[in-house]
Amino acid sequence: MSLELGAFLRSRRERVTPADAGLPVTGRRRTPGLRREELALLAGISATWLTYLEQGRDVRPSGQVLDALARALRLTAAEQEHLRRLAGGDATPEQDAPEEVGPEVAGVPALLGDNPAYVTGICYDLLAINDAAAELFGGTGPGGNVVRWMFTERAAREILVDWEREARDILGRLRAIAGRHPGHPRVTRLVAELSEASPEVREWWPQYDIQFSHAGRKRFRHPRLGVITVSHTAFHVAERPEQTLVVYHLPGSAGPLPGYP
């Protein structure tokens, strides 16, 4: 069983107060949130079983147990999905080799003209990017990394008007990827690098915030257009689901993205 599952359960247990769970508050509490015994009671499982889960022991919780824990911990839909994926067990790490993108996929961003577009890999490496996206992101090009840019480049905080919100969101998506691919060497190295370089990552990563959304709106300081709000959406590559095509719609470019007026 993944140690990541145990860490996730502990982080969520610490967020739920007895009052949230409808339990009486008695005496002085040494730790935040629910005690292990309290969560076990709410979920209808033994405290010993919950201890095994939190310690990452080789036990396999049933779907009913996971559902009960999700209810007791008041998990969001995204967090419930993350919990189920973590409980599926550790995956075999993929080969530690540079990620490749097929030429038919790499050529798509260039076809989108004035709409900024790029293709990212499992760790948010930029595998392909068009000129409009490079301009929007301050000159970032192929070989760069979106998450590394977000947390280590000063320009990111100037270009993204709502930097903290966007940074938390992308870190939540990286956390979800780490849960789907426990032990993946490139994901592990990226997280370690970011934790070393960024105080925000050191503070936010242990909070286990999960984010799956790949569509919405962002505000940029564009070098030519000034402060603009752009809609964006993402499409996973069929044969390589961890590779993602992201497309932005600039004000005045031809045609809005589907679902965004």
- pLDDT tens-digit map of 195-250: 999 999 999 999 988 888 778 999 999 998 999 999 999 999 987 888 999 999 98
Residue with tokens 């069929």: 238
Q: Are 111 and 234 a contacting pair, CB within 8 Å?
A: no
Residue 238: partners with Cβ closer than 8 Å, 6 or more residues away: none
Mean pLDDT, residues 150-171: 96
Domain 3-87 annotated CATH 1.10.260.40: yes
Instruction: Give the 3-state secondary structure of residue 252.
Output: coil
Instruction: Give the 3-state secondary structure of residue 123.
Output: coil
Whole-number average pLDDT of the chain: 86
Beta strand spans in the chain (E)? 117-120, 126-129, 216-222, 226-236, 244-249
Encoded tokens for 77 = 């839909």
Note the pLDDT of residue 90: 47
Q: What is the pTM of this model?
A: 0.72
pLDDT grade, residue 91 (50/70/90)? very low
Kindly tell me the burial class for residue 120, based on how many C-beta atoms sit within 10 Å of its own C-beta (0-12, 13-18, 19 or more): buried
pLDDT grade, residue 95 (50/70/90)? very low
Q: Are 78 and 212 a contacting pair, CB within 8 Å?
A: yes
Query: First-to-last CA distance in the chain?
Result: 45
Distance (Å, rounded) from C-alpha 183 to C-alpha 170? 20
Percent of the chain's residues with pLDDT above 70: 91
Mean pLDDT, residues 120-131: 94
Distance (Å, rounded) from C-alpha 112 to C-alpha 220? 19
- In which element (H, E) is residue 171 found? helix 163-180
- In which element (H, E) is residue 49 found? helix 47-55
Cα–Cα nearest to 180, from 94, 244, 109:
94
Q: Which CATH number fits domain 103-249: 3.30.450.180, 3.90.1150.220, 1.20.1250.20, 3.40.50.970?
A: 3.30.450.180
Residue with tokens 């409808």: 22
What are the sequence ranges of the domains in the chain?
3-87, 103-249
Note the pLDDT of residue 253: 60
